[in-house]
Amino acid sequence: MNIELAILTLYALCGFVLGRMWRRWQARQHYRRQQEMVRERRITALRRLSWWEPPSRPKG
């Protein structure tokens, strides 16, 4: 077996695995950022609603 071929396959495998891990990490970071944005938006919306309309409890 060629040593150059073995080294090339090893490099290709390492690059493939590293690329997949990097892509997964980037996706996780994007998802976390999106969740933080959604949470901030929800908090601001709730604050605005509670500021403009005081919560009225229906008397049962």
> By 3-state DSSP, what share of the chain in percent is helix, strand and coil, each rounded to 5?
85, 0, 15
pLDDT band at 47; cut points 50, 70, 90 = confident
Average pLDDT over residues 24-51: 88
Where do the domains of the chain lie? 1-50
* pLDDT at position 56 over 90: no
**35: pLDDT strictly greater than 90:** yes
Q: What is the pTM of this model?
A: 0.49
Q: Identify the pLDDT of residue 1.
A: 67
CA–CA separation, 57 vs 47, rounded Å?
17
